[in-house]
Amino acid sequence: MHFFNRITHQTPESVELEFTLAGIGSRAWALLIDYHILTFSIAGFLVIWSFIAYQVVELWNQIFRNTDVGLWMLAIAFLVSYFLYTGYFVLCETLWQGQTLGKRFAKIRVVRDDGRRVSIQQAVLRSLLRPFDDILFIGAFLIMFGRREKRLGDLVAGTIVIQTETSHSQANFPVSDSAADLMSQLIQSEADFSQLLPDDFAVIREYLQRRKAMSKQAREKLSLELAKQTKRIIALEKLPQAVTPDVFLEAVYLAYQQERNENM
């Protein structure tokens, strides 16, 4: 078993990212919270469904004198319960950037092996294989003794579970005054910073920290590429004003930090 196991990944922009794997303790804590939520949700459904099923069976027997409908109502109850169980993880991990309520509380999340956002196909695979991981304890065994701490669902889906990264309160590189002005405009615009993952933020931060050591040509090329990708991620159709890629990335850096601090 590895404590604070860390892995590195190099992005297409030649920026090296380091992730801290969640570990079995954090994952078990998150799963415990999720299972409590699921238990109350499924139990509530079964209570309501039992009342509905009883009324339906009574009415059906009075009309058709047939008791087979009771088995159908029971089958529907099992089917819906299974969909609630699997759908909870799929829906949450897809909509909340790899997090369920339990993972959000435990400050961990699911990402692809390359650090990008988990897709709905990967979330479905993880959820469908979860019963085998949990009931047969395959997942716990693989997490404890695997180098990348993957359960069966992670191995098949190509995902890892990492600790969420907290943003730094202050930049250790100079930020221009125009970037601070642009930050205010970006926050007031239609830009959606919730779509910017901590890993995307880390790439921007790494570039801003290392740009002075780059050649002018490499810096211009990389900053332009990062600015285009970031603009697409936050769904920003046009900039409030004509700015350089460096100033835009600085403004995004500041805006992301401010929104994260407000949500903490």
Q: For residue 97, tell me if it sits in a domain.
A: yes
End residue of a domain, out of 107, 139, 163: 163
Task: State the chain's mean pLDDT as an integer.
Answer: 82
Contact yes or no for 229/207 (Cβ under 8 A) = no
Same domain, 151 and 23: yes
CA distance 74 to 77: 5
H or E stretch including 174?
none
Mean pLDDT along residues 15-43: 86
pLDDT in tens, 95-141: 888 899 999 998 898 988 877 788 899 999 999 999 888 888 888 88
At 198, the amino acid letter reads: P
- The CA-CA-CA angle for residues 45, 47, 52, to 5°, reads 90
pLDDT band at 65 (very low <50, low <70, confident <90, very high): low
96 class by beta-carbon count within 10 Å (0-12 exposed, 13-18 middle, 19+ buried): middle
Within-domain flag for 115:
yes
pLDDT over 80 at 197, yes or no: no
- CA angle, 198 then 1 then 168, to 5°: 20
Shared domain check, 62 and 30: yes
From 6-15, 22-31, 63-72, the region with the lowest mean pLDDT: 6-15
Q: Quick one: 33 and 120 in the same domain?
A: yes
Burial annotation 225-257 (CB, 10 A radius, 16+ → b, else e): ebbeebbebbebeebeeebebbbbbbbbbbbbb
Please report the pLDDT score of residue 102 as a whole number: 93
1 belongs to a structural domain: no
CB atoms within 10 A of CB 36: 12
My answer on whether 42 and 130 are in the same domain is yes
Domain for residue 172, yes or no?
no
Residues 110 and 70 in one domain: yes
Long-range contacts of residues 89-95, Cβ cutoff 8 Å, at least 24 apart: 89/34, 89/123, 89/126, 89/127, 89/130, 90/120, 90/123, 90/124, 90/127, 93/118, 93/123, 93/126, 93/127, 94/118, 94/119, 94/120, 94/123
Number of domains making up the chain: 2
Tell me whether residue 53 is in a domain. yes
Non-local CB neighbours of 238 within 8 Å, separated by 6+ positions: none
In angstroms, what is the C-alpha Rg of the chain?
Answer: 24
- Say how far apart CA 224 and CA 15 lie, in whole Å: 15
Residues 114, 228 within the same domain: no
Lowest mean pLDDT among 6-15, 19-28, 84-93, 242-251: 6-15
Q: How sure is the predictor about 32, in pLDDT bands with cuts at 50, 70 and 90?
A: very high
Question: What residues make up the domain containing 109?
Answer: 6-163
Confidence at residue 168, expressed as pLDDT on a 0 to 100 scale: 45
pLDDT of residue 261: 60
Q: What is the pTM of this model?
A: 0.66
Band of residue 77 on the pLDDT scale cut at 50, 70, 90: very high
pLDDT of residue 184: 81
Single out the residue in 107, 133, 163 at which a domain terminates: 163
Please check whether residue 67 lies inside any domain of the structure.
Answer: yes
